[in-house]
Amino acid sequence: DFLAFSIGGFDVNDDETAGEARLEYRSDIRLWLTKPFSGLMVNSDAGVYGYGGLLVDLFVGRRWVLTPSFAAGLYTDGSGKDLGSAVEFRSQVEFAYRFASRSRIGVSLNHVSNASLDDVNPGTEEIVITYAVPFSVLRGR
């Protein structure tokens, strides 16, 4: 399992991009090909998004990992972008380099939308850099 730290831009497809930080727990429990994860995103406009979902690690050689994921969660916009609904869905793809310690550094692009649950559904895109470290490394094993 991993603890992932991310920093980057929220609403990068708009003129008023906000800063963003995330913390994610990525489980090592396998559900067929997928693994569950959960996280919390905060942005510099006081927006908050708590979410959970499933991811798949696809290895490209020994060192590269492509990780598509899908999550659902609750969003509050603070003083930032109104996404139309408290319920929001996130689809993401991450491409990361894996070190010998199994820690990873990568870049992620995602889309957050309410999937037309509300008449207002502007959606947004985010780009972040992520450092994910295995819990075994954090515990010194």
> Contacts from 36-42 at CB under 8 Å and sequence distance 24+?
37/69, 37/71, 39/4, 39/71, 41/10, 41/126
CB count within 10 Å of CB 120 equals 11
Beta strands in 11-78 (DSSP E): 18-26, 35-43, 48-55, 58-60, 64-76
Query: How many residues make up the chain in this entry?
Result: 141
So what's the pLDDT on residue 140?
72
- pLDDT of the residue at 15: 81
Q: Is the pTM of this model over 0.95?
A: no
d(C-alpha 68, C-alpha 76), whole Å: 24
The maximal CA–CA distance of the chain, rounded, in angstroms, is 50
**Token representation of residue 4:** 């992932």
Residue 106's SS3 state is: strand
Q: What span, in angstroms and rounded, lies between the C-alpha atoms of 62 and 83?
A: 39
Residue segments in the chain with a per-residue pLDDT below the cut of 50: none
Residue 141's pLDDT is: 65
